Structure 1
Amino acid sequence: MTLTADNRRYDLDWLRTLAFGLLILYHIGMYYVADWGWHIKSDTTSDVLQNLMILTNPWRMSLLFFISAMALALAQQRSSRLSLFGLRSNRLLIPLLCGMFIVVVPQVYFEALSQQLIEPGFIKFWWQYINPNTALLPEHHSPIGLLTWNHLWFLPYLWCYSVLVLLGAPLLNTLARLLKPLPGSIALLLVMAALIAAWWLLKQAYPSSHALVDDWYNHGKYFVVFIAGYLFALQGNWWLKVIAHRRWFMLAAMLCYSLIIADRNGLFDSIPASFGESVSGRLIVGVVLALNHWGWILALIGYAGRYLNKPATKLDKDGSLLRYANNAILPWYMLHQTLIIVFAVWLKPLALPMGIEAVLLIILTCLGCWAGFELVKRFRLSRWLFGLKVKLAAGRGYQTTAAQQ
């Protein structure tokens, strides 16, 4: 695989930025859908919005794990495993602790307040929240009391997967060399089979919890995606073929999404339930879900590789937007859900039409993330707590940010 002259993968930078941007919109959407639980809910809900969110729900986090693993594989060609372990630990675990003790607290506070489980008083609640022996909200306790990571669950998962891959890197690198003659179509069938197996064997027994220790279905899904991303980055021939066949992946993804939405809206209700519960029926569903999942991921990898692997684009002619995003993405990720909830609570008494309120939520959340990052980047302590380099280095690009995520 031929890299750009300065060994940066601009397409991965852009994909990571766009994926996290999509995450902000997705979490705003969670406020307006009825069927999925979230911290607070609007009085107005939308089935159309939920159908649209189903488009990204099966693969949006997988895409982030896939990109992160690709970044780790490429960064390992320039840095030692020990240095990458230190870098990922510092830039994932420190922000995680900062998020759990500071950033996430308003989410828990307003959720409990909306359910009338606590009395108003944020500071009083915060002292109870950080107290592992608190008697407040005992039914919501984890082994460490009320402390939680909420939307920041991606950080501990990414750290654990990174550590496991770094420990097994010699074996994985050998496997990557052995896989070079393997056709990409066979590799796709293997990862689809792994996802079908996880869905078939683990999904019902271990529903998604994001609690790390017992979240076996998500591990069966995301760790396989992570391993696949690591091996994929080392296979230049696979990468080039995905770029070349990007339209077919997009077509397959759109077809599978259409089938999923059709099923959700009752188009297949005439099919006997016994067939859906049979081995053949479950296998068909598994194939559709797996192809939908990998179709979207590989289509996006392909289109990004074709159009975005360059230092400047029509929308970012001097590359300044991408440079900003590379530095701002982790603080924005940490802050966005708390800001959504705070602003939603403020706007709810106004009883605005859903469309107007949603647009205001997007604007206020983005402005809040921008202001938060502008504040965070000005102080050494806050830079460290939010995963930024304590001292900016001029001219550093994807070589640094890739290893972080």
Structure 2
Amino acid sequence: MTTTERRYDIDWLRVITIALLLIYHIAIVFQPWAPFLAFIKSDTSMESIWIPMSALNIWRIPLLFFVSGMGVCFAMRKRSGAQLLQERSIRILIPFLFGMFCIVPLHFLIWKSFYNQDLAYMTNPSHLWFLGNIFAYVLILLPLFLYMKKNHFRIKSSLNKWFKSPLALLFVMIPFVLEAILVNPNPFEMYAMTLHGFILGLLAFFFGYIFILAGETLRRSLMKWKWYLLALAVGMYTTRLLVFELQSPNYLMAIESNLWIFAIFGFAFQYLNKGSKTLSYLSEAAYPVYIIHMAMLYAASYFIVPLQIPAILQFVLINLFTFAACFVLYEFVIKRSIVLRPLFGLKIRVKQKLELKTQEIH
């Protein structure tokens, strides 16, 4: 694999996972416990929709951390430690701080207005906790990553030998299982701003880096065993649903989560490593959409939930409004603004830089 190779499968996974995140958050609106998470709640519940949501709930966030670690591994090939910190500060820390102070208050104020509460706001990262965690992981793991870069060939050779057998994936699961047992989260899916979420994310971020460093051996192994991994994941989910009523012991949840993730990587590596104009557009849009989606979701809920229409129609309309509003804001406001692009984690384009220099000259 060359250092200039673009891994479109990783880009697709990031886009798909963020899209699923939006749908998952919209599904919360139709659960009876939505207000406890500060979501606007529909008067008509659709608890049945939580059955498929619970299938993806135990892997959607860990998968994003895996993918983020993979991104850092690619970035380290062309950057020094100082360059990586600078780049991640611009791409992650700045959007995190901007979002926490300027974007997150919007959906909290909409929620308070809907429930006729005082329009006060306490600084809260909300859904952007994920960005704060990623930046912390870069700081924590950078010395280790620099060591791995310095000893790249020796470590890569060892990883290639290790991942020739699918049994190596069992050893990857062990830290996740130990974390689930020792931290004992309740529920397992509570990742945001918890010790469980932080340690689980750290492990996933680290192994995401390792998975890219391992190279083609791991890639081929996951592609070869993808159907078996998927069958095991579906089997464990079915057991969780029928035997444990969706809340199996945490160590089983950790195993199931990893099986889903390994299977998803296998299918993505096999079928999604193809570039397109659609992917290029969505890949750039995903980050800003993630940052603003909660405000758009709450705005949609504010106007649609009071309507006397079936819950399934509310669900469809909130999805349509949220996705449409996010992409309209991205396309016509964020994408085209020299000021807003870096605040949403986007690079300033060459044409925009030239325009900025021209304005400075005049």
Same fold (TM over 0.5): yes
2:180 is aligned to 199
In structure 1, stretches of 5+ residues that fail to align are 119-124, 130-145, 269-281, 312-318, 395-405
1:59 is aligned to 59
Q: Tell whether the 8 Å contact from 1:331 to 1:373 is kept in structure 2 after alignment.
A: yes
Q: Secondary structure at the match of 2:11?
A: helix
1:343 is aligned to 300
Give the whole-Å Cα distance in 2 for the aligned partners of 1:176 and 1:349: 57
Give the whole-Å Cα distance in 2 for the aligned partners of 1:70 and 1:297: 14
1:400 is aligned to none
Structure 2 vs 1, CA of residues 23 and 393 (structure 1 numbering), >3 Å: closer, same or farther?
farther
1:38 is aligned to 37
Give the whole-Å Cα distance in 2 for the aligned partners of 1:220 and 1:335: 26
* Partner of residue 210 from structure 1, selected from 192, 196, 203: 192
With structure 2 as the length reference, what TM-score do the two structures score?
Answer: 0.87
**Is 1:321 matched with 2:278?**
yes
Q: Tell whether the 8 Å contact from 1:206 to 1:216 is kept in structure 2 after alignment.
A: no
Q: Deviations over 1:296-317 (max 9, x none)?
A: 1111111111111122xxxxxx
**Is 1:299 matched with 2:281?**
no
Q: Secondary structure at the match of 1:380?
A: coil
With structure 1 as the length reference, what TM-score do the two structures score?
Answer: 0.79
Identity level (%):
29
Report the alpha carbon displacement of residue 15 of structure 1 after superposing the two structures with TM.
0.7
1:135 is aligned to none
Give the whole-Å Cα distance in 1 for the aligned partners of 2:220 and 2:7: 14
2:318 is aligned to 361
Give the whole-Å Cα distance in 1 for the aligned partners of 2:298 and 2:186: 31
Q: Deviations over 1:45-70 (max 9, x none)?
A: 12211111101111101101101111
2:356 is aligned to none
Instruction: Name the aligned partner's letter for residue 23 of structure 1.
Output: L
Structure 2 vs 1, CA of residues 20 and 392 (structure 1 numbering), >3 Å: closer, same or farther?
farther
* Partner of residue 377 from structure 1, selected from 324, 335, 345: 335
Instruction: Name the aligned partner's letter for residue 289 of structure 1.
Output: M
Q: Secondary structure at the match of 1:350?
A: coil
Report the alpha carbon displacement of residue 286 of structure 1 after superposing the two structures with TM.
4.7
What are the residue-to-residue correspondences of 1:123-202 with 2, within 5 Å? Answer: 125=119, 129=121, 146-173=122-149, 174=151, 175-183=155-163, 184-202=165-183
1:227 is aligned to 206
Give the whole-Å Cα distance in 1 for the aligned partners of 2:117 and 2:141: 42
Runs ≥4 in structure 1, deviation > 6 angstroms?
none
Give the whole-Å Cα distance in 1 for the aligned partners of 2:253 and 2:306: 40
**Is 1:238 matched with 2:197?**
no
Q: Tell whether the 8 Å contact from 1:192 to 1:287 is kept in structure 2 after alignment.
A: no
Give the whole-Å Cα distance in 2 for the aligned partners of 1:35 and 1:243: 39
Aligned-CA RMSD value:
2.4
1:288 is aligned to 252
Instruction: Name the aligned partner's letter for residue 290 of structure 2.
Output: Y
Structure 2 vs 1, CA of residues 205 and 32 (structure 1 numbering), >3 Å: closer, same or farther?
closer
Structure 2 vs 1, CA of residues 150 and 286 (structure 1 numbering), >3 Å: closer, same or farther?
closer
Q: Secondary structure at the match of 1:234?
A: helix
Q: Secondary structure at the match of 1:117?
A: coil
1:21 is aligned to 19
Q: Which has the higher helix share?
A: 2
2:5 is aligned to 7
Structure 1 range deviating more: 194-203 or 17-26: 194-203
Structure 1 range deviating more: 178-187 or 56-65: 178-187
Q: Report how many residues are paired.
A: 342
Q: Secondary structure at the match of 1:349?
A: coil
2:227 is aligned to 247
Structure 2 vs 1, CA of residues 52 and 78 (structure 1 numbering), >3 Å: closer, same or farther?
same
Q: Deviations over 1:113-139 (max 9, x none)?
A: 344431xxxxxx4xx53xxxxxxxxxx
* Partner of residue 310 from structure 1, selected from 268, 271, 274: 274
Q: Tell whether the 8 Å contact from 2:166 to 2:221 is kept in structure 1 after alignment.
A: no
Give the whole-Å Cα distance in 1 for the aligned partners of 2:201 and 2:98: 24
Give the whole-Å Cα distance in 2 for the aligned partners of 1:303 and 1:337: 30
Instruction: Name the aligned partner's letter for residue 349 of structure 2.
Output: K
Give the whole-Å Cα distance in 2 for the aligned partners of 1:28 and 1:387: 24
Q: Secondary structure at the match of 1:181?
A: helix
Report the alpha carbon displacement of residue 227 of structure 1 after superposing the two structures with TM.
0.9
Report the alpha carbon displacement of residue 344 of structure 1 after superposing the two structures with TM.
0.5
Structure 2 vs 1, CA of residues 255 and 364 (structure 1 numbering), >3 Å: closer, same or farther?
same
Structure 1 range deviating more: 197-206 or 256-265: 197-206
Q: Secondary structure at the match of 1:168?
A: helix
Q: Deviations over 1:89-113 (max 9, x none)?
A: 1111111122112211122113333
1:143 is aligned to none
Q: Deviations over 1:179-202 (max 9, x none)?
A: 332244343222222111111111
Q: Secondary structure at the match of 1:233?
A: helix
Give the whole-Å Cα distance in 2 for the aligned partners of 1:393 and 1:153: 33
